[in-house]
Amino acid sequence: MPNTLTLKPGDKAPFFEGLSTDEGAKISLKTFAGKKLVLYFYPKDDTPGCTAQACSLRDANAELIAKGAGVLGVSTQGVVSHQKFSWKYKLNFPLLADTDGAVGRAYGVLGGDGIVNKLKTAAGLADRVTFLIDENGIITHILDKPDTDRHAEEVLALL
């Protein structure tokens, strides 16, 4: 697990709020109240692993919705970068622009001790971690080494 990841299943999901790819509208944990949430953090838009992961979730989004879950991707790039990435791959879920890294730090996927974590944070690269959050805002599962190509299968098996 990443050095900074202190959350565990059973913990209340930290509140977050930020701008999404949906016309730069605000999106927060409250947006998903009463629904399950697949909250996934990824390092950078339009890179091979991040694209495979996003497309896996895109292709299974109808199945995820059928299981009562919404999807939200989070990385430190801005709204314009997220919109280009979303449009290019026809993503059918929003991305949150965590430009100041506050959401990543709250979830323990950005920051921490050690030279590698400091360099990644300076470059704005969050760890690739997915949190499954239930309808009551409780973390039920944490995938800290998701298979980018099969990510949706991993998530569906846990919902």
Told to judge if 50 belongs to the known catalytic residues of this protein, a careful annotator would answer yes
Q: Which amino acid is at 93?
A: F
Judge whether 36 and 134 are in contact, CB under 8 Å: yes
Catalytic residue among 50, 57, 74, 97: 50
- At residue 117, φ and ψ (nearest 5 deg) are -65, -40
Judge whether 118 and 25 are in contact, CB under 8 Å: no
Strands (E), 6-125: 17-20, 26-28, 36-41, 69-75, 95-97
Paired strand residues for 12 = 138
- At residue 62, φ and ψ (nearest 5 deg) are -60, -40
Q: Which amino acid is at 96?
A: L
Q: Active-site residue numbers? A: 50
